[in-house]
Structure 1
């Protein structure tokens, strides 16, 4: 009985420590699609002004990336806020900021820069590593991956990642940067959104080839899909960090 109590106590303490490590911030991935030829103007505006104004209004710059195959002239970036409510206040104050108004007007004197903006709101998963902001690593290639689960299977996808996939990625030379669960407006189930880092695009593809052939992964995949597929769609985008990204 004493051994059982000690075991239960140990598990509770372990879970408490694990819970304390979870990032409870409110995250937003923003995707800006630029007018033809205007992406350099957007990058200049972010580099010289926008990121600093964001910080002044309580937003944390996590990272900024440009897709390798960028036919849509896009910029992807992630911000963090203390809460959803803080996010609303920060953006309200940002929009009213006199410096921002002046910068926007000056930067758009030759025409509109951004044609469309998309947002993905997210919470960190309980297995996401601590985001190492302002890293001084040699520049890496990043990969954004978004998983759409089959109906009612997002928790099974998360369990597979938590218990197995994240460790296998590391085994095959992939660096786990962050894992999030999207927050959907309607009854649509959440998606898994995550970012990996590789030495290069070629290294990333080689790592995934080795991962898919790994006998442990094959066993895990087959066991998790014994009642049917749990992932219906996988999106992958290789991205380069901008020169002003906090993560490179």
Structure 2
């Protein structure tokens, strides 16, 4: 009879562990929030377009990578008399997007490159910036990966 209490205690402990496991299994998994996309559209000028593309390709992209920018795709568009450069980025959330842009804009190398390339003429006019939130029925949640 001296072993009856410990065996009962072990049985009760095993039952509690089983109930805790079942309770956790019954909780639905928390949905992973969808990332956000950011659409940037720059007005660019025909006379400085090659310089703009060289600066973006050779410098901006490299510095953006330093701050974990995830560029999905880039396009050049033309509307009436206006040429535009558009690109789409993907971010985990708005806070990350704002933080990374602040860090990029404060980057000393990027500031220096912009100063140095001003001598080639005006490269960017109007900038449009849109934050895109996917609707729940979007066929694709992540554009990268």
After TM superposition, is the score higher than 0.5?
yes
Q: Helix, strand or coil: the match of 2:60? A: helix
CA distance in 2, matches of 1:39, 1:51: 16
Match of 1:33 among 40, 43, 46: 43
Q: Helix, strand or coil: the match of 1:109? A: helix
Higher RCO, Cα 8 Å, sep 6+: 2
Report Cα offsets for 1:40-62 as digits up to 9, x if no partner.
22111111111121121122111
Report Cα offsets for 1:145-165 as digits up to 9, x if no partner.
xxxxxxxxxxxxxxxxxxxxx
Alignment of 1:39-50 (within 5 A): 39-50=49-60
2:143 pairs with 1:131 = yes
Q: Which residue is equivalent to 2:128?
A: 118
2:104 pairs with 1:84 = no
Consecutive unaligned residues in structure 2, runs of 5 or more: 1-27
RMSD: 2.5
Q: Which residue is equivalent to 1:75?
A: 85
CA distance in 1, matches of 2:131, 2:52: 22
Alignment of 1:93-108 (within 5 A): 93-108=103-118
Report Cα offsets for 1:77-133 as digits up to 9, x if no partner.
011222111111111111111111121122221222101100111112332324256
Consecutive unaligned residues in structure 1, runs of 5 or more: 1-14, 134-248
CA distance in 1, matches of 2:96, 2:144: 22
TM-score (norm 1): 0.42
Q: Helix, strand or coil: the match of 2:81? A: coil
TM-score (norm 2): 0.68
CA distance in 1, matches of 2:74, 2:49: 13
Structure 1 moving runs of 4+ over 4 Å:
none
